[in-house]
């Protein structure tokens, strides 16, 4: 049961951190507004569910399958515009990016508050996702969590294929490793940057969509997850997506185990201490790839 909780938390962390890791690791952009892109995905899901509820009530059960691509699409587009209009002016200035995107996150939060209201909105859960799978008398696995686990698996495999099996993925990796050389061989690095950022944003959108199933949707939603995502990414080593996955797994399992053994706040403190100790000995993260700097 606790193991299942750990896996479930792991997939959630991974979903949050993947987009961040792509943007952070491949482009060196510390995107503090990542959480707000998640919130955007959550709001897209909310509006999709509202649309289905009022126009297609019979199809309410499958609105999620419309909401997921839609959340991805909208945040992808939002991310693209952000990169073109904002982020690209801050490349190679990590601290400035941090401040700029933090400001951006505040602006976005306030915009959500203005347009969508400060109140929390309720995203209904499709009927086939509520309830639990009773494995035995005492072990019940909530269906929405199983769904999120499946969704994360699909997303993770998709990202892997995209980055390692396509020409575009090759271009991304080459730009990461040597920007000047990539430009020299004719790769449009500006475009690669924009699409990479947009992809990272789109993943945040999917994460936001998934969160509506377990958490709350309000203008501050993103804030609740951003710290966790950063911990996962930094702990795992920023350059490595596999590292992100492994660190997500480590953190999630320790977190749920510790939470069961001690109080929630103490579990969090312990995790943070653990991360600090590891980063002290391995400054570039637990699973950083060996590269020549």
Partner 1 sequence: MSKITRRKFMQASGSVAAAGAATTLGLWPMRAFSQETVKLGLLHSLTGTIAIAEASLVEAEKLAIDEINAAGGVMGRQITPVVEDGASDNPVFAEKAKKLLERDQVAAIIGCYTSASRKAVLPVLNRAKGLLYYPTYYEGQEQDKYVIYPSQEATQSVVAAIEWMAKEKGKTFFLVGSDYIYPRTCNKIAKPTIARLGGKVLGEEYAPLGHTEFSSIINKIKAAKPDCIYSTVVGGSNVAFYKQLKAAGLDGTKQVLLSTVVSENEIEGIGKDNAVGYYACMGYFQSIKNPVNEKFVKAFKAKYGQDKVIGDPMQVAYNSVYLWKLAVEKAKSFDPEKVIAASSGLEFDAAEGKIRVHATNHHVWKKVRVGRARADGQFDIVWESPNLIEPNPFPKL
Sites of contact with partner 1 (CB under 8 A): 1-2, 5, 8-9, 12, 81, 85-86, 110, 113, 118-125, 130-132, 134, 138, 140, 142-145, 211, 213-221, 223-225, 255-256, 259-260, 263-265, 268
Residue owning tokens 């509006």: 47
Smallest distance from partner 1 to CB 291, Å: 34
By three-state DSSP, how is residue 166 classified?
coil
Q: Tokens 């596999």 — which residue?
A: 242
Nearer to partner 1, 187 or 271 (CB): 271
In the complex with partner 1, the residue whose CB is nearer, 217 or 239, is 217
Tokens (6 digits) for 194: 């924009």
Nearer to partner 1, 130 or 188 (CB): 130
Token pair belonging to 79: 């991310």
Q: Give the tokens for residue 165.
A: 């099996």
What is the sign of the dihedral through the CA atoms of 265, 228, 38 and 260?
negative
- At its nearest, how many Å lie between partner 1 and the CB of residue 177? 31
Shortest CB 265 distance to partner 1, Å: 5
Q: Which is nearer to partner 1, 92 or 265 (CB)?
A: 265
CB of 47 to partner 1, least distance (A): 16
Cβ nearer to partner 1, comparing 218 with 239 = 218
Residue 133 bridge partners (DSSP)? 141
Q: Are the C-beta atoms of residues 3 and 9 closer than 8 Å to each other? A: no
Q: Which helix (H) or strand (E) holds 175?
A: helix 167-177
Four-residue CA torsion sign, 285, 177, 35, 213: negative
| Residue 126 CB partners (closer than 8 Å, separation 6+) | 60, 61, 62, 63, 64
CB of 232 to partner 1, least distance (A): 14
The DSSP secondary structure of 103-146, one letter per residue, reads HHHHHHHHHHHHHH-SS-B--PPPGGGSSEEESSSS-EEEHHHH
Nearer to partner 1, 93 or 165 (CB): 93
Which three-class secondary structure string do you get for 251-289? HHHHHHHHHHHCCHHHHHHHHHHHHHHHHHHCCCCCCCC
Closest approach of partner 1 to the CB of residue 84, in Å: 9
CB 118 → partner 1: shortest distance, Å? 4
Nearer to partner 1, 96 or 164 (CB): 96
């Amino acid at each position: 049961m606790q193991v299942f909780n750990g896996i479930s938390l792991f997939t959630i962390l991974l979903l949050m951190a993947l987009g961040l890791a792509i943007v952070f690791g491949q482009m060196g952009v510390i995107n503090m507004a990542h959480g707000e892109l998640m919130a955007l995905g959550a709001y897209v899901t909310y509006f999709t569910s509202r649309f289905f509820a009022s126009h297609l009530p019979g199809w309410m059960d499958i609105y999620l399958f419309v909401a997921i691509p839609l959340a991805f699409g909208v945040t992808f587009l939002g991310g693209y515009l952000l990169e073109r209009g904002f982020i690209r002016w801050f490349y190679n200035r990590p601290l400035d990016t941090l401040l700029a995107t933090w400001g951006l996150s505040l602006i976005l939060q306030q915009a959500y508050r203005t347009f969508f209201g400060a109140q929390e909105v309720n995203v209904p859960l499709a009927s086939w996702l509520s309830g639990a799978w009773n494995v035995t008398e005492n072990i019940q696995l909530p269906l929405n969590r199983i769904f999120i686990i499946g969704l994360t698996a699909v997303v993770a495999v998709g990202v892997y294929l995209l980055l390692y099996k396509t020409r575009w993925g090759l271009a991304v990796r080459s730009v990461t490793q040597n920007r000047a050389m990539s430009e020299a061989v004719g790769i449009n690095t500006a475009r690669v940057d924009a699409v990479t950022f947009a992809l990272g944003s789109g993943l945040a959108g999917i994460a936001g969509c998934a969160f509506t199933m377990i958490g709350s949707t309000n203008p501050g939603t993103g804030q609740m997850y951003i710290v966790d995502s950063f911990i996962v990414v930094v702990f795992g080593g920023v350059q490595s997506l596999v590292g992100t996955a492994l660190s997500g797994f480590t953190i999630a399992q320790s977190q749920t185990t510790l939470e069961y053994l001690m109080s929630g706040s103490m579990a969090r403190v312990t995790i943070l201490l653990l991360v600090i100790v590891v980063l002290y000995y391995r400054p570039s993260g637990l699973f950083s790839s060996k590269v020549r700097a």
